Structure 1
């Protein structure tokens, strides 16, 4: 599109600066006196929004197109105008959106197609131009109805793209040797068991040596403060024994034996005080249980990454893996690059005007060629053939540009 715009700007800059006369006499014309060798070279001018613009100063002068009650050119009252609207017959019909100006190309770019979406607008034109019975109104578009032809041309008249991706073909060309994926796991029983076994020995050793020291230290402090603490301990033991007797009434004999064994269990026989050994044993067992529970809880919350590989996967295997592990799945291709034409097909859909009756029917385009050329230059009837022929050429130019760019795109290589 950039190349088209550059060529277009260069071409029309030369036409304007070199004062090339339009064959339709829309920017300059020569006025001659019959029977005389005298001729006058005159410039055309167009009025838009109550401002007169001359083609000498700008090639973008435009005026609203219309149909006038005029079959011949009235004498010039204003030298700068090709026909005086003040002396010509009144305007019969205004064509919404269609502009006329110095150059047909600039005029069509400044025009809008809003009238041709409306059947009633076409019916009004048909009163003066029977050829409009050959055309049908345009259907809806994602472009606004008041979009200029220039804006449509900048978009190459493309309504939408329909890309068709051939992933199956791409996968076979890619032909990966392996696919690797990873995922996070929690609460893996094997992992928890291994973790507990690896830490259990160290935890047991630490508690075994630290518990007696802690118990002896606490009991010595209590003995220093109050000798009565010892009596309280014996009293507590007696109360515990009494409760144990109550337990015998509710539980079986074997449970009672186990409980009694627990009460007198001493895993630290080297201590001089048996009571210190019993308390140390209880604290040791309780601390060990709490430590194991903490390890189990921590291991269940720990997330670890597991990596798997599948060798020479099929298309179905790849699709299943992609559904489950799309964020981590990698399948390196055996080929470094693949042409885009092998994996994607781009189909453009153009604005309906490019396939409508307004541009595709040559009979319609030839309709206005027999109209008297001396009709006022602003009259839509004298501009019809040029307007829609130019629109047809813009559509063809856009399609050719898209076709060429797609050919270049298809020849490019997609690097895997």
Structure 2
């Protein structure tokens, strides 16, 4: 059954590649429409939303297709060529044949080669019956209406790999942990004489990307300090020619300066309360100019675009990373069909 599961893995990789490739092409060709230039924050939020929506939609498309295929297999009750879900037996002394359902134990103890419970799973009721995969030292004919058992001496239990009614359903309930473990692969190679040209997959951890952020602080500094020497203030006289009394002239000067300062203060306060607007047009600003202006005048800045739309591919590039199994020799090597031969027992 290993050969069939490798075929399913190869088919799944091809389907995923096609679905993702079509989705990326459609994503890149989609037109982005905006009548005005967007700030960096709004643009980043928009692109993050697009990528998140793209990932969810692509994954959902694959799940829908896989669910559709699984439903067809379940409802049509196809007989697997491996005879893992249904098999036929001839009726003695007649030309008739009887079809039997595959039966698998629900719980298995591989170390003791026995069932842990009497519960069984029948392939005529569900296609999700599974059984731990292993390498045995002999083959055994299927006995009608009996659950599959591992009476034969178990040479090696392949960790994480399941077999069952249908290769696809069993594969989707399996893990690929053995393919990341060179020791596990060495045992499989030694016992089967196959897979000699492959090596264990490398576990690659995804690298987190941190976008640098710039913190901008604003400091208001007020430098309105008027230094007038006390001596000059007390002797300062603006009315020397108008008034003969020097003391009266000094007092009049002080009153004048006081009212002048009050008037300047009132005018200053009034000018700060009055909002003046002036339209400044910058022809064909660069990206840096736009971002700088947007920081200072985000609430009133208006930057119409010369083009209302553009393809997403002009400002976004979607890089797809497939599972390492889909790029390994496990499915690229055409000789994988010959890894294990399959014999049908009469």
- CA 372–324 in structure 1, closer or farther in 2 if over 3 Å, else same: same
**Cα distance in 1, alignment partners of residues 235 and 173 from structure 2:** 105
Q: Report the secondary structure of 1:132's partner residue.
A: coil
**Cα distance in 2, alignment partners of residues 135 and 261 from structure 1:** 100
Q: Deviations over 1:165-201 (max 9, x none)?
A: xxxxxxxxxxxxxxxxxxx9x8999xx9xxxxxxxxx
2:160 corresponding residue in structure 1: 97
**Cα distance in 2, alignment partners of residues 119 and 323 from structure 1:** 53
1:286 corresponding residue in structure 2: 258
1:5 corresponding residue in structure 2: 63
1:132 matched to 2:195? The reply is: yes
1:52 corresponding residue in structure 2: 120
- CA 340–285 in structure 1, closer or farther in 2 if over 3 Å, else same: closer
Shift of 1:344: 3.4
Q: Pick from 317, 321, 332: which aligns with 2:289?
A: 321
| Alpha carbons 2:103, 2:145 under 8 Å: kept | no
**Cα distance in 1, alignment partners of residues 101 and 199 from structure 2:** 37
**Cα distance in 1, alignment partners of residues 161 and 127 from structure 2:** 17
**Cα distance in 2, alignment partners of residues 352 and 342 from structure 1:** 29
1:84 matched to 2:140? The reply is: no
Shift of 1:343: 3.8
| Alpha carbons 1:138, 1:353 under 8 Å: kept | yes
Please tell me whether Structure 1 or Structure 2 has the larger radius of gyration of its CA atoms. 1
RMSD: 4.5
Shift of 1:129: 1.6
Q: Deviations over 1:249-292 (max 9, x none)?
A: xx9xxx7xx96674998999xxxxxx999867644532432543
**Cα distance in 2, alignment partners of residues 70 and 84 from structure 1:** 13
Q: Pick from 28, 44, 65: which aligns with 2:133?
A: 65
Shift of 1:340: 2.6
1:308 corresponding residue in structure 2: 280
1:57-206 alignment runs, 5 A limit: 57-73=125-141, 76=143, 79-81=145-147, 83-85=148-150, 88-142=151-205
Shift of 1:20: 2.0
Q: Deviations over 1:292-327 (max 9, x none)?
A: 3565588689997765322234xxxx0331453343
Q: Which has the higher helix share?
A: 1
- CA 130–91 in structure 1, closer or farther in 2 if over 3 Å, else same: same
Q: Which has the higher strand share?
A: 1
Shift of 1:3: 4.1
| Alpha carbons 1:266, 1:281 under 8 Å: kept | no
2:72 corresponding residue in structure 1: 14
| Alpha carbons 1:266, 1:278 under 8 Å: kept | no
2:316 corresponding residue in structure 1: 344
**Cα distance in 1, alignment partners of residues 68 and 235 from structure 2:** 108
Shift of 1:113: 0.7
1:373 matched to 2:344? The reply is: yes
Shift of 1:61: 0.9
Shift of 1:137: 0.9
2:333 corresponding residue in structure 1: 361
Deviating more after overlay: 133-142 vs 104-113: 133-142
**Cα distance in 2, alignment partners of residues 267 and 42 from structure 1:** 129
Shift of 1:119: 0.4
**Cα distance in 1, alignment partners of residues 188 and 129 from structure 2:** 24
Shift of 1:352: 0.9
Shift of 1:349: 1.8
- CA 133–117 in structure 1, closer or farther in 2 if over 3 Å, else same: same
**Cα distance in 1, alignment partners of residues 294 and 238 from structure 2:** 58
